[in-house]
Amino acid sequence: MQRYQNPIIKGFNPDPSICRVGDDFYLVTSTLEFFPGVPIYHSKNLVEWELINYCLTDDSQLNLENCGCSQGIFAPTIRYHDGTFFMITTNVSGKGNFVVHTKDIRGKWSHPQWIDHEGIDPSLFFDDDGKVYYSGTTQDVWGRQGIAVFEINPFTGARLSEAVIVSYGAGGKHPEAPHLYKLNGYYYLVLAEGGTKYGHMATIFRSRNPYGPYESCPRNPILPTRISRDRPSRPRAMLIWCKIRPATGGRYA
């Protein structure tokens, strides 16, 4: 049994994102107004972590001029595909969403490739057919926040298709932090919604197509923040590892 004690990484490390490459795990976090940007941690067991590098180490990669408190770099996502690492994130006090890449996780990362899409919480999904999809927040013509998906070139940041709003969540406000996964022919869309206070929750949806339509899991929210009116308490952040079971009989397993 692997023993651990929280926090597994001490200090200021919000919005963790993890990818696995063989027996190695790599984790990045938000850095907001601090420089260098987006630390990279390495682990073999998900418990003991070592800081090995930063994604954004030059002024040309990270412009924080006139950046206010709690602005700057929001919610990075790290991915690995075909020998290359990708990190996608948002500079909310700069030019918005961008992606960088490298073949050497301990070496120099590329210059930012800016993405023509507003919103936050960008993520990348590499499909089996070679297509790469961007997911992130957006607003429709009525100002409602939703989740957009479009095809992207992860090396240049160029959009290769029109953005399609695929979800408005499962009823919570501010649907955000989307991530796409695929298992047994289904695309799974995982979201955070309900705001960042007492209504915060995680929800999941599935579809046969990355552009939807997505059906909501009947067990949503899969991770709620339950606060009793009689016994108020502060919600706690949790990192949950799970294996998505295949769907059978047209229902969620």
Between CA 148 and CA 45 the distance in angstroms is 34
| Average model confidence (pLDDT) across the chain | 91
Domain that holds residue 104: 17-224
Q: Are 102 and 83 in contact (CB under 8 A)?
A: no
Better pLDDT: 249 or 14: 14
Q: Are 38 and 27 in contact (CB under 8 A)?
A: no
Number of compact structural domains in the chain: 1
Between CA 42 and CA 51 the distance in angstroms is 6
Does a structural domain hold residue 3?
no
Does a structural domain hold residue 249?
no
pTM of the complete model? 0.88
Does a structural domain hold residue 245?
no
Does a structural domain hold residue 231?
no
- In this predicted structure, what is the pLDDT of residue 116? 97
Query: CATH number, domain at 94?
Result: 2.115.10.20
Does a structural domain hold residue 4?
no
Sorting pLDDT into bands at 50, 70 and 90, what band is 2?
A: confident
Is the pLDDT assigned to residue 238 strictly greater than 60?
no
Catalytic residue positions?
A: 15, 176
Between CA 187 and CA 152 the distance in angstroms is 17
Burial of residue 237 (number of CB atoms within 10 Å: 0-12, 13-18, 19+): exposed
**Mean pLDDT, residues 109-117 taken together:** 98
- In this predicted structure, what is the pLDDT of residue 4? 86
Q: Are 138 and 148 in contact (CB under 8 A)?
A: yes
Which amino acid is located at 105 in the chain?
I
Question: Residue 86: left if φ>0, alpha if ψ -120 to 50, beta else—which one?
Answer: beta
Does a structural domain hold residue 44?
yes
Give, in order, the Cα–Cα distances in Å from 127 to each of 16, 42, 175.
Answer: 23, 25, 23
Tell me how crowded residue 211 is: count the other CB atoms within 10 A of its CB: 16
Better pLDDT: 196 or 134: 134
**Mean pLDDT, residues 120-141 taken together:** 98
Is the pLDDT assigned to residue 97 strictly greater than 80?
yes
Does a structural domain hold residue 206?
yes
Is the pLDDT assigned to residue 112 strictly greater than 70?
yes
Does a structural domain hold residue 100?
yes
